[in-house]
Chain A
């Protein structure tokens, strides 16, 4: 689908915040689903990027970090230009609105983006933990603050918020209150650790995985991960999986 880029911001040196006009996709979009974007330039394949927010029922917002060829070309698009986007793709998070207020969302690095939409969709405001490398990397604090009942921020070097890992904050939260469900997206070691804690304490954990992709629709089986002894397609069977079943 060809979508018009209507808003472009650059919250950090390498991070871009895009809003595109696309009523058809916005209508269907669920938290945790992703867009498969043709970036232009020399990038041959599409790039998977999470849906970060849906606004006014017709705008889709996504935020991405410039890493290589594709995201670099995408960052060069100008407002008013069109972008070829496939989506929304994949299974999003499964919501449990009944105990959303005890739900905990944990994001690390670029994994925080899909959690904003999730926090808004959950119904009741959840608790949110975000982890960043350092103070300079911290972003979207105000937005997550508004969408959560409690926002906790951790940095690896202690230059902002809590000095330590998101899993330390998770343990604190488990001691002081109830955690009904955990939703997480971020670096693999972080998600693995959270899934283990969830298993130990019988808390269901939904993890959003990343894998290199081709088609994004489930046909080429290039994006597989190991789940419950079998290979699953991250694009079609995921990207959200039951953390207890993923073989990280």
Chain B
């Protein structure tokens, strides 16, 4: 049995698999399908300092091998989370990652302060394409990334992961900006900005018109970006985007990710997270690799 432990910015995960923020709620629903302690970490849905209502429905559209979503960061706010969800989550032997969002830099700082050291890691969501203010607007400008990372890092009591948007021309530049701002780790990719039109009604399927693309369709873009970021910075990387099988996850590890997140695949198959974990282990065993960390970044380019 291969060693599956990974260390992300000083936090030890029992295996390299976590959940894509926003696809797993606060964990209650999927705990009916498997024990959350089976995961290396649970990345929770976005939290803001104040509750957010999100966008009207339809919020989801099917696309070839993927989906568009326009949830828009609906959440009950950090206070309600701390009171109602965190005590329940604490019973599990897994690391908790809080995904932080806001409309202004002050919002992000505030929610980081409110969360304190209640979870094991923060993930700074500056890459959501579904909100008018904040979100992707921060994550597509290197200067802004550096500034917001610095300000949130200054108040963070736990390691800070910065989640990068793929909707940029040079992902390496964004990664370096996050590193310069003091990020402890990076995660990528968030969703690709997209649109689907219903040709019968001649209107977009999503009420919000545009939304974020995820699922197998985005995987090649995500693998490429993880590789480019690995070349640019030394920080730990959590890779995601379309991972559905253990082999998909291995691709990300080979490209340079230290851990992986599964999101959309779990929306289709509630056991996807556990299956991916098992299939990574099976791949390592079959290929006589003793430790999952040994294949990180081991792709041999032509």
Contacts and interface: CB of A to CB of B under 8 A. Distances in A.
A220 B22 contact: yes
B301 interface: no
A215 B268 CA distance: 6
A220 B54 contact: no
Interface residues of B, number: 33
A21 interface: no
Given A45-B62, A46-B268, A213-B60, A221 B74 contact: yes
A211 interface: yes
B24 A231 contact: no
B67 interface: yes
B270 A211 contact: no
A105 to B, nearest CB: 26
Interface stretch (A36-44, A52-60, A189-197): A36-44
A218 B67 CA distance: 17
B28 to A, nearest CB: 8
Contacts of B23: 215, 219-220
Contacts of A225: 57
Contact of B267 (A42, A45, A69, A212): A45
B25 A219 contact: yes
Nearest to A212: B58
B29 interface: yes
Contacts, number: 85
A227 to B, nearest CB: 12
B204 interface: no
B270 A42 contact: no
A204 interface: no
Contacts of A44: 62-67, 215-216, 268
Interface string B66-80: 110101001000000
Contacts of B65: 44
B60 A222 contact: yes
Contacts of A211: 57-58
B34 interface: no
A214 B54 contact: no
Contact of B29 (A42, A219, A222, A231): A219
Nearest to B53: A231
A44 B66 CA distance: 7
A218 B66 CA distance: 19
A217 B270 contact: yes
Nearest to B264: A214
A212 B59 contact: yes
Contact of B60 (A42, A212, A230): A212
B30 interface: yes
A195 B224 CA distance: 52
B60 A43 contact: no
A45 B105 CA distance: 36
Given A42-B64, A44-B67, A231-B74, A218 B29 contact: yes
A227 B176 CA distance: 45
Interface in A13-45: 38, 42-45
Contact of A224 (B30, B54, B64, B67): B54
Most chain A CB inside 10 Å of its own CB: which residue of B45, B61, B71: B71
A219 B24 contact: yes
B182 interface: no
A91 to B, nearest CB: 14
B16 interface: no
A215 B22 contact: no
A86 B266 CA distance: 13
A72 interface: no
A33 to B, nearest CB: 15
A231 B54 contact: yes
A212 B29 contact: no
Interface of B: 22-25, 28-30, 32-33, 45, 53-54, 56-67, 69, 71, 74, 215-216, 266-268, 270
Interface of A: 38, 42-46, 69, 86, 211-215, 217-226, 230-231, 236
5 contacts: A38-B268, A214-B69, A218-B28, A220-B69, A221-B71
Closest 6 CB pairs of A and B: A222-B60, A219-B25, A219-B29, A222-B59, A214-B267, A218-B29
